Amino acid sequence: MTQKAIYPGTFDPFTNGHLDVLERALNIFEEVVVVIAENSQKNTLFSVDEREGMIREVVRDFQGVGVEVLHDGLLADYARQQGARAIVRGVRQVKDFEYEFQMSLLNRHLYPEVTTVFLMPNVKYTYVASSIIREVAMLGGDVSKFVHPSVLEMLHRKLDESQQKKK
């Protein structure tokens, strides 16, 4: 019986789609650790510390959820070290699948005992991706339906900062 799963991602920012997947994972696993990949290859809006604080706030009242940062190294090694045999990933559309399929098989190659579990979020989040939320928010659009109020506040602060810089 697999009791502990990890839910990795960049989470820049953490959206209601991510939250939906996390809640579904908690219906299956006793413990789910959200693993924020620092991922130096991606130019993120939020620092890894900001993302960690953001997710901790969103899951503050949840039972069985951990929040950790993968600063470097492979996710498969991290999963092995943590004794996690399941990796949770959300899939919204068929186009997500190619990349997810590749990652899942590579992770299995690196750590044969690990299984990637794909979960579909509620259909209302099908078109919600961090990249588009970031873009819309930073152009002043309303994303309040797609992120937790505390994440919305952080996005507003980033927008204010970027507007101040332009002055």
Residue 129 touches ligand PNS, criterion: CB under 6 A: no
Identity of residue 83: G
Q: How many angstroms separate the Cα of 116 from the Cα of each of 23, 54, 122, 135? A: 17, 25, 19, 29
Nearest to ligand PNS of 83, 140 (CB atom): 83
Residue 58 touches ligand PNS, criterion: CB under 6 A: no
Distance (Å, whole) CA 49 – CA 124: 29
Q: Which range, of 7-15, 23-31, 136-144, 158-166, touches ligand PNS by CB under 6 A?
A: 7-15
Which of 55, 58, 75, 114 is the binder for ligand PNS (CB under 6 A)? 75
CA angle 62, 64, 67 (to 5 degrees): 80
Identity of residue 152: L
Q: Which of 139, 156, 160 is nearest to 148 (CA)?
A: 156
Q: Which burial class, exposed, middle or buried, applies to 72 when counting CB atoms under 10 A from its CB (0-12, 13-18, 19+)?
A: exposed
Residue 17 touches ligand PNS, criterion: CB under 6 A: no
Nearest to ligand PNS of 28, 103 (CB atom): 103
Distance (Å, whole) CA 146 – CA 101: 26
Residue 10 touches ligand PNS, criterion: CB under 6 A: yes
In degrees and rounded to multiples of 5, residue 138 shows phi and psi of -75, -10
Residues in contact with ligand PNS, total (CB under 6 A)?
11
Q: Is 148 a catalytic residue?
A: no
Q: Is 130 a catalytic residue?
A: yes
Which of 28, 91, 103, 129 is the binder for ligand PNS (CB under 6 A)? 103
Residue 107 touches ligand PNS, criterion: CB under 6 A: yes
Task: Compute the least distance from the CB of residue 113 to ligand PNS, in Å.
Answer: 16
Active-site amino acid positions:
18, 42, 92, 130
Chain positions contacting ligand PNS, by CB under 6 A: 8-10, 37, 39, 70, 74-75, 103, 106-107
